[in-house]
Every structure is written in C-alpha cells, then in structure tokens.
Chains A and B, each alone.
Chain A
Amino acid sequence: MSTEATDAPLIDVENLSVVIDRDEGVVRPLNGVSFRIDAGQAVGIVGESGCGKTMTSNALLRILPPGAKITSGHIRYRRKLDEQVVDLATIDSGSAEMRQIRGGDISMIFQEPMTAFSPVHTIHNQIAEMIQLHDPMDDQAARRRVVELLDLVGISGPDERADDYAFQLSGGMRQRAMIAMALASKPRLLIADEPTTALDVTVQARVLKLIQRLQRELGLALMLITHDLGVIAHTVEYVYVMYLGQVIEEGPVVEIFDNPAHPYTQALLHSIPSLTNKDKRLEPIEGSVPSAFALPTGCPFHTRCTKQVGDKCKRQMPAHVEVSKGHYASCFIHTEEGS
C-alpha cells in the first residue's frame, strides 16, 4: 500500500467519487475529482454552492457524513511521519494512522469560526488539546505554545485572550484563533474552507493576508476553497474549478482569469463583482445547479450552457484536455479544435 517516493506531490487526488445513501435516494456529491497539490503550493478550489468543495476536503480527512462512501479513486498523500505515500481513500477511517494525519498532517479552517469552536470550552482548552494530541507535552509547555500561536496569528494580549470563549471574541479574532489551532501541530497541508465568507468585509482582506503570509513563512501547502473568485486572485498559484463534483477546468491563476476556457468558468467570472467592472451589470449564471440526486448525462454543464456545440454535449462526457500550457478544460469546444 505504501511506496517510497519523495519527489511525488504532497497530495495527489485521482478520480475520487463519493456517494451518499439516503432514504430519499442516492446522492452523488463527487464524481471523479482529480487534483494535486505540491509541498508548499497554494491551490484554489472554486465553484458554486453545492458543487462538492466541502465534500472533497472532508473526504481527504475521511470525515464524511453518515452514509457517505468513497466508491472509487485514490488520495495519495505523502505523510510527515516517514515520507511514505499512503492512500487516504482506502485507509481505515477509524485507525490511529488516520487520526494522526487529521490535524497533525492536514488541518482545516472552517467557514463559521463561531460554531466551529465549542461554546463551552475556552480557546486555550481547544488549542492545547490539538497540541497535546499530536505532541504529548505537559500543560505548562502546551500553554506556552498556545500563547505563542495566538501571538503568531496577530491576537493582541494572547495570554488573556487564551482564556476567552469563542463568543467573547470578535469574528476576525475567532477566525485567527481557528487558524492558530489549525497550525498548532505543524501540518503540511492547510485546508481553508470558505475562511472569510462569514466575516465582515473589512476583516476579510486581513484574514486572507494572514493566511497567505503564514502559508509562505511556514512553507505550508494551502487548499483554499471558495465560491468567490475574488478571494483566490491574489492568494493562490493554481486554480481548480469544480462543477457537480468534478473538476471541469484547471490552470495557473492568471490563465483562469485572463483566458477562461470552459463556458462555466466564463460565466462564473461574469457573475462576480470586481474592482474594474464595478459599474458593469453582473450576469448571474442562467438556470440552477442540477440536483446531486439526478445528475445530467453527458457534459454536466449542458443544462445551463449557452455555447453548446451539438447533441454530443448531452450524450458524451468531454475529455479533460490541455488548452494551453498547464491549463486544462473539459469542454467539446476545445476537443473540436484539437481534432
């Protein structure tokens, strides 16, 4: 199961599919997601609400909701412990090995720092727990580390703030504390799932800057999940665009912004406000996201696509092809050009 390969990417997700069995039917939130992140690289995952971004990150840590199963694919991860590559898709999710990777190797920041912290335990209690889980040390040492971490994320008066409860901190401070907790066990990969969505606009930029700074200073790999293209523009190097549980376009961030190849990405770009087109009318994407209960056949975007190139859009799944260097898209418009 494990192979030695130190030049491999930090994490290589290949063709990952997840289904959820519910009384109402079978939900297919992930349908063959593939992406890779190198050590120290910042990567963005973008897509509308419900496209499977959170499901993807939860699958990496094997903390899927009840009834959810990984049905195919691999999550090859090079772990801190011994540089071995392990497949997180097949490892026993209840094993000590998996628990060691959660928090110790891969850690997460969540959208709602208020509810993501326990309301009845202090910040110190929760961060110290993370520290001692992965690096047994006495309480005084853990306390010093907690204060150090809170200081690192820019919380002033860290010694006093440590004994606060989450609801006593402001939204921005809470998210900083959440970041401190995520960094507590020196992870290699930080997953930030909509880390600024719940924050005041004025605080968003500062928290984003903080994440970016820490990522660079600590040499972390970052998986930044968002539905807001504006958030990733200055934070990541490479972007994956997801639609209905698949990656439909990927490429260097500049390429994605300047030359979006997939009609969905193009529509997504038109639907966001930016500093340059503030006065221009935004065009929301036509139609609504199909239900994960009944996925469309053929190209998953065909039910909303205004640029269809014929019947095959409805029947066949377009291949993921390179449209320019390091820039891929899954759309017949581009396979046509190639043939």
Chain B
Amino acid sequence: MLNYIIRRVLLMIPTLVAISVLIFIIIQLPPGDIITSRLQELQAEGQDISEEQIEALRARYNLNDPLHIQYFKWIGGILVGNMGYSVMYGQSVNNLIWERLGFTLLITFSATLLTWLIAFPVGVYSALRQYSVLDYAATLMAFVGLATPNFLLALVLMYLGYEWFGIAVGGLFSPEYASADWSMGKLGDLLAHLWIPAVVIGMGGTAGMVRIMRANLLDELGKPYVTTALAKGLHPIRLVIKYPLRIALNPFISTVGWMLPHLISGAAIIAVVLSLPTTGPLLLDSLKNQDMYLAGSFLLMLSALTVIGTLLSDILLAITDPRIRYE
C-alpha cells in the first residue's frame, strides 16, 4: 500500500512538469501580449507613453527574455509561492487568488454538503423501493433538475429572494457589510446570502447524483453476493448497509478526484450571474484578457488539483476496494 502511494506520488512529478510546460506554451500562443493591448488602450485614451516606460513594463513582466527563461522564471516563482503579477488588476496574483479561493471553498463545500444530504438518502430509497410512487417522484424531480439550466434557477431564486425576503441578492454580502470587518452581523449576512449559490450549484449535482446512486445500488442489489447474504439469514437492512451500499459507494469516491479542480473553475457562469467573489469569473476574465500570469497560475492550479485529486481518490479507492489494492 505504501509502495503504491510512493510510486503514484513520484509519477506525479513528471506529469506536473509536462503540464506546466504545456500551459506555458498555451498562454503564449495567442498573437500579441497584454502589454501591447494595454498600450493600445492607453494610446486610445490619448495618453503618451515613452519608450522607456514600455521597456520598463516589458522588463517587469520578463517579456524580453527568451521563452525558456520566461518559463523558468515563472515556474521558479511559483515554487517559492510567488505566482507573478496581474497586469489587468495591477496586483500580485497571490493577492487576487487567496481571498476568492476561500469564498469558493465555502460555497462549493456548502453545495456539496447539500448535494450529499439530499442525493444519498433519496438515491438509496429509490433503489430499495424501485418503481414505488416516491421513486417515480424522485425520478421526475431529478430529470427536471437535470434539465433546468443552473443560471435560470439562479435568476428565479434571486427574484424570489428579493420578493420574499427583501435581500439584495447577488454577491455574498449586503452592501453595508461588504467592506466591513468580520462581526456576528456580517456572518449572519453571509449565511443569508450563501444559501442561494449553495442551492443553485448543489441542484444540478443533486439530480445527477440521485440517478447515479440509484443505478449503482440497483446494480449491486442484483449481484449474487446479496443472495448469499440473504441465504445466511442476515437481516435485510443490515445486509444492504454492509454489502451493496458499501460497494455502491466506490464510484462516488472516484468523483472526489474531479471535485477539487471543480472548486476553482466550477460554476463560473453562476458566479457571474450571482456576482459572487469567487475564482470562476476571475479565471474567465484572465483568459479573455491574456493576463498571462494570472491565467497561467490558475490553469496550473487546476491541473495540479486534478492530479492531486485523482491521486487522492485512487488512494481512497485502494483503501476501500481490495480488488484495486491487490492488482
């Protein structure tokens, strides 16, 4: 087991190096760079910029170095925790990312919790009472949930939130708390706003998850080992928990892998609609504006999280499923 983990971690290193090179090439690919487009903007506004100023800017962003040097400077910075400087925001990438990452984590965590709290019992019930009235109801709800675009749900909830509770929805805080220091009031305000993105983001996932849970469990319930356990005289409820449910959970464990990168990029559209201070819209902006260090750092972070997430779920799977452990 330990060997397996060490082997997998070692394998991660070349993977990440290859990914970082690829990302660097991709962010360099579009013609022009952010300085040129920035200059055009400034000149259009009638500002005059001297050659020296331009040179200084280019030097600051290492744009005069050959490509491979640029790469090493970038990756070297990241290794010591400096992700570079965003031209678009005029701030260091570190500054920009961490606060948003916190909120993203909070929202995604609440949404995931909500998803699990609903999807798990509903999916299990649907499988155990297949074709019952409640199973049909759950199936119908799941399909409606799957077919409703999330941003539409976001708009509806924003409207309802405003109509019923009079809260200025959108964002995570009311204007009076937005720049205030943390207090009980601000926390309450956050919670009053949090449920909308949590419900919106959680909803799409819940519908899918109910279907997956139901299908997985139905699959396992038909397996011969269930008959064996029944024939042993095991109580049906204990049986379901110990055998098929336990095994039906394995596919869920493998979803942990892509939950991590989803934290950052996930639900960008909803974040835009609800004007959430999360990482999604920032990533979108940085890509649109060729803000190379911001975009590059984001992409690298996403890839690293994907790789780490996959490793995590593989390790979890190996712990829960001996068939993988002994392969």
B232 at the interface (CB under 8 A from A): yes
Among the 9-residue stretches B137-145, B180-188, B194-202, B318-326, the one with 4 or more Cβ atoms under 8 Å from chain A is B318-326
A119 at the interface (CB under 8 A from B): yes
Interface size for B (C-beta < 8 A) is 23
Give the number of A-B contacts (CB < 8 Å).
Answer: 72
Interface residue ranges, A against B (CB under 8 Å) = 58, 61, 63, 66, 94, 99-104, 107-108, 110, 112, 115-121, 129-130, 133-134, 165, 167-168, 181
Among the 9-residue stretches B25-33, B93-101, B233-241, B252-260, the one with 4 or more Cβ atoms under 8 Å from chain A is B233-241
B275 to chain A, nearest CB (A): 46
Contact in complex: A120, B233 (CB < 8 Å):
no
Interface residue ranges, B against A (CB under 8 Å) = 130, 223-225, 227-236, 242-243, 246-247, 320-323, 326
B325 to chain A, nearest CB (A): 9
Contact in complex: B246, A120 (CB < 8 Å):
yes
- Provide the bound-state CA to CA distance between A129 and B233, in Å: 10
A98 to chain B, nearest CB (A): 8
Chain A residues positioned under 8 Å from B234 (CB to CB)? 99, 129, 133
A333 to chain B, nearest CB (A): 39
Contact in complex: A116, B233 (CB < 8 Å):
no
By beta carbon, the residue of chain A nearest B232 is A103
Interface centre among A115, A120, A133 (most CB of B within 10 A): A120
Contact in complex: B247, A119 (CB < 8 Å):
yes
By beta carbon, the residue of chain B nearest A168 is B326
Enumerate the 5 nearest inter-chain pairs by beta-carbon distance, A residue then B residue, closest first.
A102-B233, A103-B233, A103-B232, A99-B233, A115-B224
Residue in B223, B231, B236 whose CB lies within 8 Å of A115: B223
Contact in complex: A63, B230 (CB < 8 Å):
yes
Contact in complex: A102, B225 (CB < 8 Å):
no
Chain A residues positioned under 8 Å from B320 (CB to CB)? 120
Chain B residues positioned under 8 Å from A121 (CB to CB)? 242-243
Chain B residues positioned under 8 Å from A117 (CB to CB)? 225, 228
Chain B residues positioned under 8 Å from A115 (CB to CB)? 223-225
Residue in A120, A133, A167, A168 whose CB lies within 8 Å of B232: A133
Chain B residues positioned under 8 Å from A130 (CB to CB)? 232-233
Known A-B contacts A102-B230, A108-B231, A117-B228; the reply to A165 vs B322 at CB < 8 A is: yes
Contact in complex: B326, A119 (CB < 8 Å):
no
Contact in complex: A165, B233 (CB < 8 Å):
no
Chain A residues positioned under 8 Å from B225 (CB to CB)? 115-119
- Provide the bound-state CA to CA distance between A103 and B232, in Å: 4
- Provide the bound-state CA to CA distance between A58 and B228, in Å: 11
B125 to chain A, nearest CB (A): 15
Contact in complex: B224, A110 (CB < 8 Å):
yes
Sample of 17 further A-B pairs with CB below 8 A, known A120-B323, A121-B242, A167-B326? A63-B231, A94-B236, A99-B233, A99-B235, A102-B230, A104-B233, A116-B224, A116-B228, A118-B225, A118-B228, A118-B243, A118-B247, A120-B246, A120-B320, A129-B234, A167-B322, A181-B232
Known A-B contacts A110-B227, A112-B224, A165-B322; the reply to A102 vs B236 at CB < 8 A is: no
Contact in complex: A100, B233 (CB < 8 Å):
yes
By beta carbon, the residue of chain B nearest A99 is B233
Chain A residues positioned under 8 Å from B323 (CB to CB)? 119-120, 165, 167
